[in-house]
Amino acid sequence: MGNVPVYSLESERDRYWAGYPKIVQEMVTGIFNAPAETPVEVRQAVEAYTARLAGGHRQDLPLPAGWEDYLQKMGLYAYKVVDEDIEELKAQGNSESAIYELSIAAALGAGLARMERVLMLLDEDEEA
Amino acid sequence: MRIKVIEQGMEGRSKLIARVSRLMFGFTVGPLFLSIYRRDYFGTAFGRLSQSTLRENTFWSRGEVEMFASFVSNLNHCRF
């Protein structure tokens, strides 16, 4: 895959994801383009945040207020998420649909960053 | 815990699949549930990626890939 670029919203997004396997592109397309309650900018910011937590290269984009603690758990140790975390988000006025959408976006970032890291190491190994 | 909109938001065939899962196992199986809810957003792509990763590997055997997935799931405190 070569060096992982830092991508920005909209203008570079399609070119960035074009380097990924088609099946991964389908997943990214769904999460960023399918009808959703949350704005696409928010989903991208969430994906970027958890990707960076997992060592990925993404821009530092503004997160929605009140989500950082939950997203940090999602990005680093999702198994620590408990009912109270969800109840806290709902108490802040977030709908369950929004919680679902941003949780998936968070999982995408965390998972892709791990995949990117392995692919970078494989590239370095081939060049050595 | 399942957020209610997911349990109640299934329609048509997805709802039927979820009900059968609950009858058979007492709960909606996680990966199955993820692949049938909000198919356009995540479900369909997730199902295809899962199948591709677990079944279409050309180097590792199917059993080996399932073991890798099981091992990592265990590290993530996930029963699957």
Interface check for A100 against chain B (CB to CB < 8 A): the answer is yes
Asked whether the ipTM of the predicted complex exceeds the cut of 0.90, the reply is no
pTM exceeding the 0.80 threshold for the entire prediction: yes
Residue-wise pLDDT tens digits, A83-105? 999 999 999 999 999 999 999 99
Nearest CA in chain A to B49: A23
Interface check for B38 against chain A (CB to CB < 8 A): the answer is yes
Cβ distance A23 to B46 less than 8 Å, yes or no, reads no
Nearest to B4 among A26, A96, A104 (CB): A96
Query: Quick one: pLDDT band at residue A1, thresholds 50, 70, 90?
Result: very low
Per-residue pLDDT of chain B (80 residues; tens, 9 = 90+): 567 766 666 677 777 877 787 788 877 677 777 888 888 899 899 888 888 887 777 788 888 988 998 898 888 887 65
Q: Is A97 helix (H, G, I), strand (E, B) or coil?
A: helix
CA distances from A123 to A11, A120, A127, B59 (A): 26, 5, 6, 18
